[in-house]
Structure 1
């Protein structure tokens, strides 16, 4: 996305809501393609390979969860679920399927724009970081058999590539910077979505904290951790998470 116009695909059945979404995204600077059903939206996203995919729940064919699951299986775009957030289990299922963020439905335009702005700022930081590192020393973090290359956004475990979402990569990067240091859930939520002074004092909702729990659970599963054996990421009850100091001891 460096030096290019960011691309977004909007998958939303309601024409009026879809129109509001696309208008807001164009105002921010995205090039938009849109679809009104889950299956056609998934096919469009695979062709377009966008930076951002917005999935409005209430689709006429496959549901939002299944749409996200199909998208996240083969694409590394940021997926924003626009959904009824009154049922926590639905939010959890969306994250578990591969969503990176959410916005309430019925659509709250200010909050929707804030979520997109947050994504855009994060992408700008990533692009700037990649640009700054061209020709400079590459940051590679290693911990036991785990290796993270922040210049290429690649993670390897025992020499084998591990496919992570952008959010999962960011969380692992934070944890690997200081193995053994406990990171609170709120701190991790800020590192994922905020910037500047907000990294220390920005508002974090209960849903944001819950989303971190789901992302960490998905990350641990990809690293081979289980509820009984935490070789890589350890839960510190009531506080947050840390990278296990000596992964070889488990």
Structure 2
């Protein structure tokens, strides 16, 4: 179940109150902070799903708040500022923000952006992420997010998962795309202990399901990525982009398609995508490559198709 907790970091009391009211109307429990230090402490204490950060704060700026928050939380971070220069947007995204909204903003649009972020595939209750500590809990989350989380694979050659023979799911009936870790199927997998039915929901056999490509492994339910034997911490947006590219295989995804995916739209909906959103995708992919240590000149995983977009350098496989 989705945790509706938010932290508002804003030094202007009027705007802070407006944000608290706006998020409160959307069903959030809102905690407010007037300084960067207080904001970081509030995020650490309340483990919110969403954090809004003003760029100009009395102690240190919103960039530093975002960087510090990213050290222990994968909350969605929305940066709010009156600065409209492209460099400010890029700095905010590079610091780890998921979205950048300029003031004055339209409350309905901001609320829609936040709701779109919350529809992205992620593991409920993973704030902050503790690797390996919540392996028994994530199974309930994908059921609520499944309609928005499942991405149809553009690469038809990528093998679809085959349910275990003992699962009770007929071969060939797996959902389109790699959506094997669907909680509704979990109870059908027998417990490893004969005659014991109760432990089955906690055995989580599908939690190890992953997408793999040449030493890169992505675990959708754990919201975890391993690259060349090391765990790589990613922001929710970076994780979503990598998962989308892995599911697409060697089929190129344009910057516009990826931008629609990031904002929660259908990738092929044909809706308008401003250049700023495409540029944001470039920054996020650049951050992703840097964290993966993937050289764009000699890519091991993510290839740039000039003038078009991005694709994976090989054919990812789904392993369950």
Q: TM-score, normalised by structure 1?
A: 0.89
Task: Find the counterpart in structure 2 of residue 150 from structure 1.
Answer: 220
1:128 is aligned, of 105, 120, 145, to 145
Q: Is residue 224 from structure 1 mapped to residue 293 from structure 2 by the alignment? A: yes
C-alpha contact 1:52 1:78 (8 A) present in aligned 2: yes
Shift in Å, 1:188: 0.6
Aligned residues: CA RMSD = 2.4
Q: Which moved more, 1:28-37 or 1:126-135?
A: 126-135
> Shift in Å at residue 227 of structure 1?
4.1
Q: Secondary structure at the match of 1:122?
A: coil
8 Å contact kept, 1:182–1:240:
yes
Q: Does 1:190 align with 2:207?
A: no
Q: How much does 1:246 deviate?
A: 7.5
The equivalent residue for 1:59 is 57
1: CA distance, partners of 2:249 / 2:114 = 31
Give the conservation status (yes or no) of the 8 Å contact 2:216–2:227.
Answer: yes
Matched residue SS, 2:32: strand
**Partner residue, 2:159:** none
Asked if structure 2 preserves the Cα contact closer than 8 Å seen for 1:5 and 1:31, the reply is no
SS at match of 1:191: helix
Which stretch shows the higher mean deviation, 115-124 or 170-179?
115-124
Runs of 4+ deviating beyond 4 Å: 123-127
Residue 67 of structure 2 aligns with which residue? 69
Q: How far, CA to CA, are the matches of 1:54 and 1:203 in structure 2?
A: 25
Paired with 1:90 and 1:192, the residues of 2 have a C-alpha distance of 20
Q: Which position in structure 2 is the counterpart of 1:236?
A: 305
The aligned counterpart of 2:127 is none
Residues 133 and 151 in structure 1, CA contact (< 8 A), matched pair in contact too: no
Flag the 1:123–1:245 CA change in 2: closer, same or farther, 3 A: closer
| Structure 2: tracts of 5 or more residues without a match | 123-140, 150-178, 187-204
Task: Provide the aligned length of Structure 1 versus Structure 2.
Answer: 244
In 2, the alpha carbon distance for the partners of 1:40 and 1:84 equals 21
What's 2:9 paired with? 11
- SS of residue in 2 equivalent to 1:103: strand
**What is the SS of the residue equivalent to 2:278?**
helix
Shift, 1:114, TM fit: 2.3
| Structure 1 residue aligned with 2:269 | 200
Q: Give the match for residue 84 of structure 2.
A: 86
1:101 corresponds to which residue? 99
The C-alpha deviation readout for 1:63-113, integer Å capped at 9, x for no partner, is 111111111122110000012352000000000000011211234323322
Structure with greater contact order relative to length (CA < 8 Å, sep ≥ 6): 2
Which residue is equivalent to 2:37? 39
The SS at the match of 2:119 is helix
Q: In structure 1, how many angstroms separate the alpha carbons of the residues matched to 2:121 and 2:232?
A: 21
Given candidates 20, 23, 26, the residue that maps to 2:21 is 23
Contact 2:296–2:304 (Cα < 8 Å) also in 1: no
